A and B are shown apart, each in its own frame.
Chain A
Amino acid sequence: MDELTFRRTIYADPNTQDPDVIKAAMDDPSKQAFWDEVKALDAQMVQAMNIPVPENFAEKLILRQGMDEFTQRRQKRPWYVAMAASVAMFAGIGYMTLLAGDNGLANDVFAHVSHEYMEKEIMMSGAGVSNDKINEKMATFNGKLSEEIGNVVSANYCYLDKIKSLHMIIKGEKGLISLFIVPDSESKELKEDFSKDDLIGSSFLLESAKIIIVGDDKSEVAKLQQTAKAAFTF
């Protein structure tokens, strides 16, 4: 193999497996030296080309694809899916609003029967509350308490979801029970029976007022309900 062909072949591919080239290098040490030199240059070029890759580049590429996929899917959604989604959303909002009205009142009721709250109320009202005292406050609701409903330890106005109510705390046999009086016109959404954790709530309509009773014992709540039905007049 002549010198020029040898050099050309090596320069074109230093890793050539061409048997003629290999033989020529074996026969001529100067050719082998030339080949080694080119291989060394290639090794240097490999190192020189080995530039650093930006940090977390692979993660970036994967993330970018994920984001792209996400936007693609959003764009690919057919119109009826979008329509269904918006209908569902409005239905959801409507339902939430309904629930919020109801839950708002019920939640406030539960907030007012928490132990901390009731303790504060009882502390402020001192010993017991007489029927006369209660009736002074009942006037707001055009109502009257004419019978004993038990040991009333506190009777105060309080606001349930912006509705003015009268909150009475009654000491029952098994614990404290709360009785709320709210104008019926403003509490129509409240269910008759509701509960949260261990607390049981019950509400009933008595002429123009709604009476809400909350306690942690079902039988006591039911008993007070019967008593209240006879004791209050509106």
Chain B
Amino acid sequence: MFSRNKTQKPSVSTDMMKKQKRYEALVKALHADIFRYAMWLIKDKAVAEDVVQETFLRAWKSLDSLKDEAAAKSWLITILRRENARRFERKQFDLVDIDDVAVADPNDFGDVTLEHRELRRIMSGLSEEYREPLMMQILMGFSGEEIAEQLNLNKNTVMTRLFRARNQIKEALLGDQTTGEQVNG
């Protein structure tokens, strides 16, 4: 214990500075994407903010394990999903199935055009098994292989879910249009 501390001491402050710089760069580059992902996953702004804070704290603590900056995005998503899952472990008793909560508060998602609002409603209405791979693909730009790895699924399953996700969105949009026409008619 003593010897370990001793050997580290001379370079500790410069190492800390480097780590701090690296961390700040990571936060600045990816906080927006990670927050948006959390919002789409969690659908509650306050909780999403909390989970993202926890995510970045974890990231700071294990920053040395991130060897390649290019993998930072998927590394953070892995941490985020784990943090989000922990939230349910902690709150086992007041657990609410997030997919049962009708739709997210539209105000949480900011002011948008009617068209986007509608699309958002449909997307947040997708079940998580479809919503998550879709977000990974659209928002994070992950490939089918990367999504498969994140969700611990095989690639074919992922591609099927992505297909179904878009299919459902398309149908929902068409359904809206039909309803619209009926109302107008």
Contact = CB atoms under 8 A, between A and B. Distances in A.
Interface in A50-82: 50-54, 57-58, 60-62, 64-65, 68-69
A227 to B, nearest CB: 60
Interface of B: 23-24, 27-28, 31-32, 35-36, 39-40, 45, 49, 52-53, 56-57, 60, 108-110, 112, 115-116, 119-120, 123, 134-135, 137-139, 144, 159-160, 162-163, 166-167, 169-170, 173
A48 B119 contact: yes
Contact of B163 (A11, A46, A60, A61): A11
A65 B169 contact: no
A48 B162 contact: no
A102 B134 CA distance: 76
B166 A38 contact: yes
A167 B159 CA distance: 97
8 nearest A-B residue pairs (beta carbon): A12-B159, A52-B110, A11-B163, A48-B119, A12-B163, A11-B166, A48-B116, A12-B162
B138 A51 contact: no
Contacts, number: 86
11 contacts: A8-B159, A11-B162, A38-B166, A45-B119, A46-B139, A48-B116, A48-B120, A51-B39, A53-B32, A62-B27, A64-B56
B109 A12 contact: no
Contacts of B120: 48-49
A49 B138 contact: yes
A219 interface: no
A44 B39 CA distance: 18
B40 A41 contact: no
B144 A12 contact: yes
Interface string A142-175: 0000000000000000000000000000000000
Given A50-B36, A61-B52, A45 B138 contact: yes
B110 A65 contact: no
Instruction: Report which residue of B115, B116, B123 has the largest number of chain A beta carbons within 10 angstroms of its beta carbon.
Output: B116
Interface of A: 8, 11-13, 38, 41-42, 44-54, 57-58, 60-62, 64-65, 68-69
Contacts of B40: 49
B138 A12 contact: no
Contacts of A41: 166, 169-170, 173
Nearest to B109: A51
Given A38-B166, A57-B49, A58-B27, 11 more contacts: A8-B159, A8-B163, A11-B166, A13-B137, A41-B166, A48-B112, A48-B116, A51-B110, A52-B110, A64-B57, A65-B56
Nearest to A59: B27
A53 B36 contact: yes
A37 to B, nearest CB: 9
B137 A61 contact: no
B73 to A, nearest CB: 15
Contact of B115 (A44, A58, A62): A44
Nearest to A37: B170
Contacts of A12: 144, 159-160, 162-163, 166
A60 B32 CA distance: 12
A6 to B, nearest CB: 12
B166 A44 contact: no
B36 A51 contact: yes
Nearest to B35: A53
Given A49-B139, A58-B27, A61-B56, A11 B36 contact: no
A68 B119 CA distance: 39
Nearest to B60: A65
Contact of B116 (A8, A47, A54, A68): A47
A85 B35 CA distance: 42
